[in-house]
Amino acid sequence: MKSDKTKKGIERAPHRSLMKAMGMINEEIERPFVGIVNSWNEFIPGHIHLDKLAAAAKSGIRMAGGTPFEFHTIGVCDGIAMGHEGMKYSLPSRETIADSIELQVQAHQLDALLFVTSCDKILPGHLMAAARINVPSIFVTGGPMCPGIFNDEQVDLISVFEAIGKFQAGEMTEEEVKDLEEGACPGVGSCAGLFTANTMGCITEALGMSLPGCGTSMAIDSKKFKIAKKSGMQIMRLLKENIKPRDIMTEKAFENAIRVDMAIGGSTNTALHLPAIANECRIKLSLDLFDKLSRETPHLTSIRPGGPHFMLDLDRAGGIQGVMERIKDKLNLDCITVTGNSLGENLKELKILNPKKNMDVIRTVDNPYHREGGIAVLKGNLAPRGSVVKQSAVDSKILKHSGPARVFDCEEDANEAILRGRINKGDVIVIRYEGPKGGPGMREMLAPTSAIAGMGLSDSVALITDGRFSGGTRGPCIGHISPEAMEGGPIAIVQEGDIIEIDIPNRKLNLKVSEEEIKRRLKKWNKPEKKLTGVLSRYSKVVSSADKGAVFE
């Protein structure tokens, strides 16, 4: 065992002495050492209960003959960091999380790992670390939040963000916004829709890195705690059989995960996180692969923000296993998973306890919500290396759009213009210098996109950016434009009033300006200087572009 380096033989007496200072006994020291990698903190509702899940997982490890050691990683709440300088630190935290796990695990030579984590870029950071370290590993994701209730309707965090625009448009009173604020997020868990946090929980299960049912089981459900205990027991089997993350997260498994992502209509942030995780597995995922699989995979669910259902509905309908059963003819069923069995064998064990809900929430491939998957990759002279849009959350009236550019060099200026009523129907809002290098940190743009939706403009106004979007964004919001403005991409030379043409069905994003004019403007362009210190200064120097997953080069 790897941990023998720290505890076996007479020369390790000092090491054992330190372990015994913590109350350990010989029987515990002789067992395999399993790290509990926990992102519990008191900042994030999706994490506030992870201490209890970790305790359940440790029980399972002990029952199966292992000795657990728990340690913690940082976690940024994107909802609280949204719309201000704090969001610049969100995506960079992914790399810090992965690095911190590597440091802790390799320094102490742990035999296996059980990850208790949730949310946005925190879960991707854990997956990156699991692939990099490559010792037997299993994931327990924290689970979705239940929807809240307002005016006898189910609501979620995005309802509150969009309420700001409705207030500015005179459609809600301040008192109504306050009442919505009180009830929209009723308890623990990741925000109730298919935003980035829950998308990544689903993707983790689809990759084969968590037990069946884990991705959608609710944070408050005892099922989640049973899964945690079973995961604790299962990690000991994975250790015995030496099944490692890179045995599970193969190229075929990533294709499965992307197909599931397309079928459920998940967050565009998967186009950042999956390539980054794959990179740690020494696999290259291109944006072109996302688009290819999206064209081949129908969109089968209609979950917030694109539709009326919530994660609670998806879980009751059969969860990710239910989705994979629907598209199993398109999946690589021979992929091994943390059950120790193949995906095909797992699906043979699937039981649908609520058949009516299943047919209601997860449609068949013959009757999809959309013939194509949730994400489209657009290219053109404005995005030569690509851009992404959540096409399943775009009103059919604006899948094709041409309009004048309204140009802003930061998110705050754009948001102010939207809320002050300075954006007109038909406009194309351009927010630049918000990419991985330019932000730096590639901020999510939930505040402006929610303001657009709240003010009733999501079927008439488009937004493009070299930044990124929350999984809660809906409407024709196109992000990850590559090359980004700070790298001298064409988005840097767009001028106020230029006509921008968007054609999502045909995957085009073009600036209606001649090639000669684009070359002339680029020749005159000067890179703006930003005074940076600390983490952001280092990050901007080593981070790659969005089309490569914003990984360190």
Residues involved in catalysis: 470
CB-based contact 203:31 (threshold 8 Å): no
Angle between helices 270-280 and 90-108 (to 10 degrees): 20
Distance CA 175, CA 454 (A): 16
Residue 155, CA distances (Å) to 186, 309, 457 in order:
10, 10, 20
Cα angle 8, 14, 20 (rounded to 5 degrees) comes to 85
Order the strands of the 112-117 sheet from edge to edge: 67-72, 33-38, 112-117, 137-141
Question: Burial of 410 by CB count in 10 Å (0-12 exposed, 13-18 middle, 19+ buried)?
Answer: middle
Angle between helices 251-264 and 287-296 (to 10 degrees): 60
CB-based contact 165:152 (threshold 8 Å): no
Q: In what helix (H) or strand (E) does residue 25 lie, and over which residues does it extend?
A: none
Question: Burial of 344 by CB count in 10 Å (0-12 exposed, 13-18 middle, 19+ buried)?
Answer: middle
Provide the 3-class DSSP secondary structure of residue 217: coil
CB-based contact 390:375 (threshold 8 Å): yes
**Secondary structure (H, E, C), 362-375:** CCCCCCCCECCCCE
User: Which amino acid is located at 277 in the chain?
Assistant: I
